[in-house]
Amino acid sequence: MPQPHVILASTSAYRATLLHRLLAEFTQAAPGTDEATLAGEAPADRARRLAEAKARAVASRHPGAVVIGSDQVADLAGTVLDRPGTVAAAHRQLEASSGQEVVFHTAVCVVDAHGGAHAHVDETRVVFRSLSRDDIVRYVERERPLDCAGSFKCEGLGITLFERIRNDDPTALIGLPLIATARLLRAAGIALP
Residues with catalytic annotation?
71
> CA angle, corner 49, sides to 18 and 127, nearest 5?
60
Question: Which of 73, 56, 74 shows the shortest CA–CA distance to 65?
Answer: 56
Residue 97 burial by Cβ neighbours in a 10 Å radius (0-12, 13-18, 19+): buried
Burial 135-149 (b: 16+ CB within 10 A, else e): ebeebbeebebeebb
